[in-house]
A and B are shown apart, each in its own frame.
Chain A
Amino acid sequence: MSEKIIVIENLVKRFPVGEGEFTALSDINLSFEKGEFSGIVGPSGSGKTTLLNIIGSLDSPTEGSCTVMGKRISDLSHKQSAQLRNMHIGFIFQVYNLLPVYTVFENVEFALLLQKRSATARKKAVMEALEWVGLEKMADKKPSKLSGGEGQRVAIARAMVKRPELVLADEPTANLDAKNAHAILQTMKKLNEELKTTFLFSTHDEKVMAYLNRLIHLEDGKVAQDEWVTAKSTR
């Protein structure tokens, strides 16, 4: 692990509140290397999601800089931000956010459509991604027919199908029972190890933390602790 794919320097994020401002993140200095399986942890309102949104180029810092894949987020146009997300970043959400009108296959395929890949290449990549998460037989099912765990596995396949360098997962196990949460985390860990994809979680779930190699504790928008740990759980 030597290639830095995220570099955050002196990052501050403020939001206007009424006539004043609310500081969501303050003086953040972090870097993440390729292949990390890390988590930003902390209670609700600590700034986890805001930081994840900035890294995902959905938002930009008020001060300081955030550089992802060598691209400074605050310098990117809307189009360039979209392109960065499209080509290099996968998102996994707390609620799976699958498009209900499309099948499992089409939901995963959608990310590739934006990359204008050929139908043959899309089919191959989608089936491979579904195999990673063990849902190749559910390809024609609609999201409404899936269980919570299956839905989140489709979301993982959708995030992974384009082989991104970075996956941002915002509370991915919050809506899952313990058994499904472990299954999901094992899948992500496996992909992290096999594909060398960097995973960055936002979580306050102990089950997730048990799988992580690095925990960055946020408190009131500041990094309270940045610790490397040995993953306790590998189930």
Chain B
Amino acid sequence: MIRFIFKAILRDKNRSVLPVTVVAIGVFLTIALSGYLSGMLGDMIDQTARFQTGHVKVMSRAYAENIDQMPNDLALMDIEALHEELNRDFPNYTWVNRINFGGIIDAPNENEQSKGQGAAMGMAIELFSKTSGETERLNLENSLVDGRLPQKSGEVLIGYEFAEKLGAKVGDELTFMGSTMYGSMAFASFEISGTVRFGVMAMDKGTVIIDFSDAQRILDMEDATGEIMGFRKEEVFMQDEVIEMRENFNAKYANDSDEFAPIMKTLGEQNSMGSYLDLVDSVSAMFVIIFVLVMSIVLWNTGLIGGLRRYQEFGIRLALGEEKGHIYRTMIFEAVIIGIIGSVIGTALGIIVTLLMQKYGIDISGMMKDATMMMPSTLRSKFSPQLLYIGFIPGLFAMVIGNMLSGIGIYKRETATLFKELEV
């Protein structure tokens, strides 16, 4: 009988092609959209972690309260000892210094007169450290448009759009004007070693990146830093782990009333990321639930149409002596086969599209010209192992449930009534 069922599925295009197509499309859409959703939402989390929040961040309490103002006058002091403590207590994390600073960048022409000026959003990172992993974390090598990464003190990377706005190119001198940690004026000259494009318009339009030691020197921040960011060594954000770390770390300083005492914050506690993380979870769950409901209804209807079309066949089979229960079970068996075939096709297509979208993405930089929010200008999907079953299982179940519901009519009716309805 199984051989007969397979033959019928293969030969009867109406029995197989339409439901398989419906299941495959549904599963494909679930996987592709789910991959896209987690890619887009995950990108934003990842990008925010890498550039702004770390997986955890240690700051002074006062700095944390005024973080929007980049208050380097409230910076953490005695950071060497703090690093020792962090490395000892949390060896699975890499701890790196960051200083965010603001100022004016001036690009002089050959006559030493200003040819362009702009407000800079400065970021000092451990560029020259072999162990910090910052150049890889910020993907600087791949973000280079021109030139190279800074190799010595006095060199700067500048956002590509910013360089264009200033009329500056690799090798040109730039002058930075800002204020030190103690409030006095800070001036420094840099040579552009390279231009970068992060794909985040807000950064590309105003970022300058210098080495951390240069920033300490210019901003008078000896043994001080604005922030110490912690990144899990595998670069994977672990929500539960960082919450425990934060509790342990902050408990040690709970009785310290100094506003410069360190405080640790998790990614979820910064930049309204907590509600964003919750949103990601609930949107993903909602998405799968809606899919299962919609697909069940669609496949129920597909099953009904298929069932109606096959009333004559069921009538013949009844007359030949097949039991209603057996007919019903073979319908479900067919649904399982079709559900599996459709789900496999849909999953394969969904994974392929997700992987392609992960590699190439959709460039939306044209729409992001004036954006100031931290958002990637290339939208990418993200493959995760859960995509292998997130569409497959609902696809299979929706098909089976749809057929079970539509087949109940056959199972419940009296044979004679059914036989008459079958128009045999």
Contacts and interface: CB of A to CB of B under 8 A. Distances in A.
Interface in A128-174: 158
Interface stretch (B120-128, B252-260, B286-294, B318-326): B318-326
A91 B313 contact: no
Interface in B374-424: 415-416, 419, 424
B309 to A, nearest CB: 11
Interface string A89-132: 10101010111111000100011011000000000000000000
A79 B326 CA distance: 10
B11 A79 contact: no
A53 B15 CA distance: 29
Interface string A43-84: 000000000010010111000000000000000001101111
A114 B320 contact: yes
B1 A113 contact: yes
B320 A91 contact: yes
B316 interface: yes
Contacts, number: 72
B323 A78 contact: yes
Contacts of A89: 321
Nearest to B315: A97
A91 B415 contact: no
Interface string B304-336: 000000001101111111111110000000000
B68 interface: no
Q: How large is the interface on B (under 10, 10 to 19, 20 to 34, 35 or more residues)?
A: 20 to 34
Nearest to B323: A82
B4 A106 contact: yes
A106 B1 CA distance: 11
Contacts of A101: 7-8, 11-12, 15
A210 interface: no
Given A97-B312, A114-B320, A59 B416 contact: yes
A78 B324 contact: yes
B10 to A, nearest CB: 9
Given A86-B322, A87-B321, A97-B424, A59 B316 contact: no
A4 interface: no
Contact of A81 (B316, B320, B325, B415): B415
A222 interface: no
Interface of B: 1, 4, 7-8, 11-12, 15, 312-313, 315-326, 415-416, 419, 424
